[in-house]
Chains A and B, each alone.
Chain A
Amino acid sequence: MWILLQIELFKIFKRPRTYIAFGAIAAIVFLIQVALKFDGKSYIDLLLSNLDGSFEMDDEFKSKMLNGYLICFVILNTLLIQMPLLVALIAGDSIAGEANMGTLRLSLTKPVSRTEYMFVKFMASVIYTVALLVWMALLALLGSILIFGVNDMVILRSRGLEVIESFDIWWRYVAAFGYAAVALTTVSALAFLLSVFAENSIGPIIATMSIVIVFTILSEMNIPIYDRTVKPYLFTSHMVAWKGFFYMKSNAEGATITGSVENLPAIMRSLLILVIYIGLFFSTAVWVFRKKDILT
C-alpha cells in the first residue's frame, strides 16, 4: 500500500499543473502582504469603521493591530473560499485523468485491488490538500510574522473587539489549519467521487465547483425556511467553522477567558458532519468504481 501511495504522489508531483495551485497561493498571499505593508492603516480604518464611535483608537494601537497574526487571519478568510477550486483540480483528475490518458486500464490489469487503488488515490489527493495548506501556513503565518512581527491579535466581532493574547494564538492556528484540512478534504472527496463517473477531468472539476458555489450561496442566504431545513445539512455551511477557534468565551464581567473557545461543541459537530460527508463521498466512489466496467 505504501509503495502504491508513493507512486501516486510521484505522479502528482511530477506534473507541472500540480504547482499551479502552489504558485497561485504564493501570488495571492504575497499581494495581500504587500498591500497591507504599504497601506495597512487604511485597511484597519476600514475594519474599525464598522464599529460605533465608542471605540476610538490611537495610531499606536492600530499599528499594533496590524501584526502577523491578524494578516494571517485575513489571508485565511480570503483564501479558504477559493481553495476548493485548487483542490478540485487534482482530486477531480485522479480517476478521470487516468481514464482520459488510457492509463487506468493498464493500472487495473496490475495485481492491485480496486479498493486499494481508490484508497491510495484518495490518500494522495488528501496529502496534496494538506501540502497546499502547509504551504499556505508557511507563507501566510510565518511569512506575515516575519514581515509584520507579532503582537496580540484583535478580532472584530459583531459585539465589538476581542483581544487574543499573543501566547494564546498559536494553538488556535494549528486547530484552524487542521479544521481547514478536513473542510478541504470534503471538497476533495466530492471531486474524487465525481471523477469516477467521467472520462476527462474537466467535467468533475466544473461539477465540483458548481456544487460548492450553489451550496455556498444557499449557506449564505438569509431565508428563514432554509435555516433549519437545508443549511444544517450542507457541507459548505460547516466549512467556515474554523473561525470558531478564534472566538473566546467571556466571564460574568464580559472579559474574555484566555485559552477558551466560545462554542467548541458546535465546531466539533460541524467537524463530525464534514467527516460524515467525506466517508459518504469516498465510500460511494469506491462502491461505484468496484462495479464499473472499464471501457476506455
Chain B
Amino acid sequence: MSLIIEVKSLCKQFGDFRAVDDLSFTVEAGQVYGFLGQNGAGKSTTIRMLLTLIKPTSGTIEIFGMNLEKHRKEILRQTGAVIERPDLYKYLTALENLRIFTAMSGCRIPERKLMDQLEMVGLAERAHSKVKTYSQGMKQRLGIATALVHDPQLIILDEPTNGLDPQGITDIRNLIIRLSKEMKKTLVISSHLLSEMELIADSMLIIDKGKKLVEGMVSDLFNPSETIVELQTTNDELSLQQIKDSVFAGYLKGLRNDCILLQIHKNDIPAVMKSLMDMGIPVISFNSRYSLEDYFLSLTTGNLYVDTAAN
C-alpha cells in the first residue's frame, strides 16, 4: 500500500510550551486512521499543521509523496477537511456556502452535482435555507459536504461527531464507512469518542502531551477478546482469598471500587463463571468490559485498568 501521509519528527513550540514533540507517523492509502489523545494532547495542533494552518517549528510533512511546504496547493487540492466546529457563512444558504468553497477548491462543479452532494448528506431539501437556521447536526453535515465536494483523495476530520445526537453520530459513522469502503478514500479522524473510533478505524495513533504513545493497526494494538471482568460479591475479601487459592489465581488483577478484577479470554468467561459459582463464591454481578477506551486510558494514565466511571 502506498503512503498518503508521512510525518517525520514534527515539533511545534508555542513560547515555552511544546504542543507537539518529535511526532512521526504514516497513513496508508485507503485507511481510516484514528487520531486519539486527551484534550490538549496535541491532536488539533498536528491536524492544523497537516492543513498548513499552523507552521511546524521543525520536522517534515509529506502528503501524496510531496513536501507540504513546497507543494501546498497541489496537496490541498486533493484534500478535504473539517476542523472542530463546521463554521460556515451563516448569512448564506447551504448551496451558496457549498458553491463558495467549491470555487475556492479550484473546481467548477455544476449546480446539479452540488445538489447531489447536499442530497448525500441529507440536506437537499434545505439547500436554499440560510445556515443560521440549521441545527448543529445539519451544520456538521454541511461542513462534511464542503470537505467532500471537490472529490478529495484525503479527508481530514477533526472531531466530526462533536455536538451531534446519537442519530447524527450514526449518520456520520455510516458516511465515513461509505467513504472508506465504497469510495476508497483515505480518512484521518481525530475524536474523543473512542467507542466510535473502535467501530471505524483501521489504524490509530495515540498521543499524549504532544508525544506518540503508540501507533499501529487497531487489530494488533487492541485485542478486545482479552477482556477485563468486574466481579462483585457479597464478601469481597473472602472471595478474593478463594480465587487466590484456586486455579484462577493467574487471572486475578486486583481489587478496585468494590470489584474483583479478572483478566480472562472472552471464550473462557462462561467456564470461569460456572467454576466460581461452584466454589461457592457469592457473586452478585459479573461484568465483562474492555474497550478501546480502557486501552486508551491505560496508556495515557499508565494503569492497566482504569475505572472510567471515575474519570
Interface residues of A (CB under 8 A from B): 3-4, 6-7, 10-11, 14-16, 101-103, 105-113, 291, 293-295
Q: Which residues from chain A contact B52 at a C-beta distance below 8 Å?
A: 108-109
In the complex, identify which listed stretch (B78-86, B209-217, B286-294, B302-310) lies at the interface while the others stay far away.
Answer: B78-86
- For the complex, what is the distance from the CA of A107 to the CA of B146, rounded to whole Å? 11
CA distance A102 to B88 in the complex (A): 7
Say if the beta carbon of B31 comes within 8 Å of chain A.
Answer: no
A109 touches B53 (CB 8 A): yes
> Which residues of chain A have C-beta atoms less than 8 A from B88's C-beta?
103, 106
Q: A16-B91, A111-B104, A294-B53 are in contact. List 19 more A-B contacts (CB 8 A).
A: A3-B103, A7-B100, A7-B104, A10-B100, A14-B91, A14-B96, A101-B89, A101-B90, A103-B89, A106-B81, A106-B83, A106-B101, A108-B51, A109-B81, A109-B83, A110-B105, A111-B72, A111-B77, A295-B48
CB pair A15 B91 closer than 8 Å: yes
A residues within 8 A CB of B103? 3-4, 6-7
Whether A4 pairs with B104 at a CB distance below 8 angstroms is yes
Q: A14-B91, A15-B91, A110-B76 are in contact. Are A105 and B53 (CB under 8 A)?
A: yes
Interface residue count on the B side (C-beta < 8 Å): 32
Residues of B within 8 A of A6 (CB): 103
Q: Are B104 and A107 in contact (CB under 8 A)?
A: yes
How far is it, in angstroms, between the C-alpha of A110 and the C-alpha of B51 when the chains are bound?
9
- Is the pair B51, A109 in contact by a Cβ cutoff of 8 Å? yes
Would A110 and B101 count as touching, CB distance under 8 A? yes
Q: Which residues of A are found within 8 Å of B90, using beta-carbon distances? A: 101
Q: What CA separation (Å) do A15 and B101 show in the bound complex?
A: 18
Complex Cα–Cα for A294 and B85 (A): 14
Residues of A near B146 (CB, < 8 A) are 106
Residue with the greatest number of chain B CB neighbours at <10 A, chosen from A11, A15, A109, A291: A109
Cβ-based interface call for B253 (8 A): no
How far in angstroms is the closest Cβ of chain A from B260? 47
Which residues of chain A are near B85, meaning CB under 8 Å? Answer: 102
Complex: A144 Cα to B101 Cα, angstroms: 44
A residues less than 8 Å from B143 (CB atoms): 106
Residues of chain A contacted by B72 (CB below 8 angstroms):
111, 113
Question: What are 8 A-to-B residue pairs whose CB atoms are below 8 Å?
Answer: A14-B96, A105-B48, A106-B81, A109-B53, A111-B104, A294-B53, A294-B54, A295-B54
Q: Is B106 an interface residue (CB 8 A)?
A: yes
Contacts of A15 in B (CB 8 A): 91
> Known contacts A4-B104, A7-B100, A293-B53; is A111 also within 8 Å of B76 by CB?
yes
B55 at the interface (CB under 8 A from A): yes
Cβ of B16 to closest chain A Cβ, rounded Å: 16
Residues in A neighbouring B76, C-beta threshold 8 A: 109-111
Of A111, A113, A291, most B-chain CB atoms within 10 Å: A111
Q: CB within 8 Å of A: which of B34-82?
A: 48, 51-55, 72-74, 76-77, 79, 81-82
Question: Do B104 and A110 touch across chains, with their CB atoms under 8 A apart?
Answer: yes
CA A15 – CA B92 in complex, angstroms?
Answer: 9
CA distance A105 to B101 in the complex (A): 12
Instruction: Give complex CA distance A102, B162 in Å.
Output: 15
Residues of A within 8 A of B55 (CB): 291, 293
Closest to B50 in A: A109
